[in-house]
Structure 1
């Protein structure tokens, strides 16, 4: 497989961008990533003309795939042709906000921002401002964007920054606990309950190999936060409008968080984030409340149009039936392959999310440490390249999720399963 153009582009990129990329995960593949020229349905074509079945889907935003339905494309083009930005509200912001409020159980009001990271950063500030408290409980291995409050490792007794540039004094206000560990959550509330502003969790860990919540775990988080006057934040940047359909993962689990963060699909493939929740909480954002939050590009009309038309198309068509059925086919086929060829591995995922995790004992992970102990180097250094050689594009490491889109077909699934058979 020829990759001369990608290599040349990466050499150029190294001269002008740190690591040759604008987001670290893109450089996870060694010796260099391939550069994409264009998307085509459920596929991407790289700078050398190689065509891959794409299960990355932009790391999740592309529910509909690369070929957008005519009504979605037309709305995007119309908004782009009318002018890029105005510095004043537009009707399309209201339209998308009304759609989100109508379909997501916990959301009475919503504030649009420009990325998932901006959404979670703002949600933490909002929780602190609303409660008058400082500390945030997070799950080890949960990902809430590149922000100071959650770039924290260790445990609740010894939290420490996980990135240079984050002061230890910031990390001391973040209390990491293992996912699915109710006892650890009880301990932090016993010690810090009067100063815990919120528990922030992903409904499903989606940036650490896909880890499902244990039965009753989210119900427990809902109960203990209410008991202590803390907020429950669901980070649905990944799961939002993918797991559980238009009601998001919270509707599937039957949990009503106080605040929900969104990203990815709600912008239809364009830069977006959002914070939604109970009206009395969301109204604490400026200008109606004392918690400052603002952004020049927030509610950008092109993004709002892309998000609204994507969700309207999903509501009016068989999008969720299609992607979830293909997800079931993928996971079912992978389970058969793993059972026959690699019984120590596990297949994870739900709805249109899937992943084979290179566990060592055949047991499904229950927290981030279980995934960390998997054969992560083999996944990245050997397996990923074997799949690429068969023209299948998977997420760049063991931890990132993989996604099905409306553009994928049963043929894509069968070809991918054959590639897994060969690579495993």
Structure 2
């Protein structure tokens, strides 16, 4: 493989864009990222003509893959040809809103915005406005967009900004706790319960190694927030319409939050975010309530068409059977490979999400007969249970440098494009095939 053109493009980009990119994670590839020219089904082709099996899928939005089915493409093109934006409501945004309300358990009303960050920012503001409280409980390592209220690290006793430009006074209202740690949540409610507006969590810690919740964890969050008059917010920007099908992850776990944030798939690959939930809460958004939220491009007709056509196609075809089946093949195949070649490592993921975490000090190969066979499920009887990741710190303690500096490049050389670091999830699309899965598994065998 040659990458001369990508290197030239990156050299030009460094002169006009900070770090040569428009989103920080894209620069995680060293010494420079490859530039994509086009997509083709479950593959991408870079600026030098190299072809890769693409398991990044735009970091999640592309449920259908790069080649959109004809009815989806036609619906998008029809709306694009009629005009880009009007500054007034359109029927297509009502259609998409009705679809989401019909299928997602928590959503009685919805507000469309322009990104997952905008959705989570609005959710925090809405929770504070609705409850009259200030503090937000978040999970350490969870990602809720580039917003001041959640760019916070440390713990509940010593929260601190995780980015320059975020005032300490903002961070003091955010209480980070470890994912899957009920005792830590109880402690923050004992100390701050009267001022906690909401607990915000991803149903699955999907931006930090794909960490599955322990049995009963979400039910516990539902109970303790109800007990203290706080809201439970599920950030389903990643899991929405990918885990649990059209009902999203909340339907799979059987827990209904007060508010849900969306992004990625709900816009069919175009810029989007959304915030939905109980009508009495969402009605607090302007103009029907006192919590201000607005945006010129919110409910953009082309994005709304892309989202609606994508979800309708998924509802009427075998999309979820296809992507979840390939996801299971990948995770099962990886589990078998690791048992032979790297028994301390952990396969994670569910439905059409997957990842291999380079965990340390796992059980020996001769004790893995009863392990989770299709991705870690936090099952106490699994021989991996004591060493599999329970929270973000566990993932951070894995061999993250080896994953990024050695393994990622080995997979790229074999024509497989994985997410840019140990933390980001990987996704199966409707454009992928069983041949893609088999080729990827062979690449894992050689690269591990």
TM-score computed with the length of structure 1 as normaliser:
1.00
Which residue is 2:223 aligned to?
223
Paired position in structure 1 for 2:286: 286
Query: 1:16-415 alignment to 2 at 5 Å?
Result: 16-362=16-362, 363-415=387-439
CA RMSD of aligned residues (A): 0.4
Matches of 1:8 and 1:376, distance apart in 2:
28
Residue 364 of structure 1: how far off its partner (Å): 1.6
- Structure 1 CA distance, aligned partners of 2:389 and 2:232? 24
**Kept in 2: contact 1:205–1:211 (CA 8 A):** yes
Cα distance in 1 for partners of 2:199, 2:127 equals 10
- Distance in 2 (CA, whole Å) between partners of 1:39 and 1:205 is 28
Say which SS state the counterpart of residue 44 (structure 1) adopts: strand
Q: Tell me the distance in 2 between the aligned counterparts of 1:77 and 1:348.
A: 37
State the 1:330 CA deviation. Answer: 0.1
Q: Is the 8 A contact 1:358 1:376 kept in 2?
A: yes
2:214 and 2:309 map into 1 onto residues whose CA distance is 35
State how far apart, in whole Å, the 2-side matches of 1:188 and 1:247 are.
Answer: 31
Distance in 1, matches of 2:214 and 2:408, equals 29
Q: Once the two structures are superposed, what CA deviation does each residue of 1:120-171 show, in whole Å capped at 9, x if it has no partner?
A: 0000000000000000000001010000000000000000000000000000
Cα separation, 1, equivalents of 2:265 and 2:29: 25
Q: Is the 8 A contact 1:240 1:265 kept in 2?
A: yes
- How far is 1:178 from its partner? 0.2
Deviations 1:95-133 (A, max 9, x none): 000000000011000000000000000000000000000
- Decide whether the 8 Å contact of 1:348 with 1:364 is kept in 2: no
Report runs of 4+ in structure 1 exceeding 3 Å deviation.
none
* 3-state SS of paired residue (1:261): strand
* Distance across 1 between alignment mates of 2:347 and 2:228: 37
Query: Could you tell me how far 1:224 is from its partner in structure 2?
Result: 0.2
Aligned to 2:446: 422
The alpha-carbon deviation at position 361 of structure 1 amounts to: 2.1
Whole-Å separation in 1 of the counterparts to 2:95 and 2:422: 38
The whole-number CA distance in structure 2 between the counterparts of 1:364 and 1:122 is: 34
The separation in 2 between residues aligned to 1:364 and 1:351, in whole angstroms, is: 19
Unaligned runs of 5+ in 1: none
Q: Report if aligned partners of 1:123, 1:261 keep a CA contact under 8 Å in 2.
A: yes
Paired residue secondary structure (2:250): helix
CA contact (8 A) 1:357 1:398 kept: yes
With normalisation by structure 2, the TM-score equals 0.94
Helix, strand or coil: the match of 2:436? helix
User: Whole-Å Cα distance in 2 between the matches of residues 280 and 72 of structure 1?
Assistant: 34
Q: Distance in 2 between matches of 1:371 and 1:222?
A: 25
What do the CA deviations read for 1:285-333 (whole angstroms, capped 9, x no partner)?
0000000000000000000000000000000000000000000000000
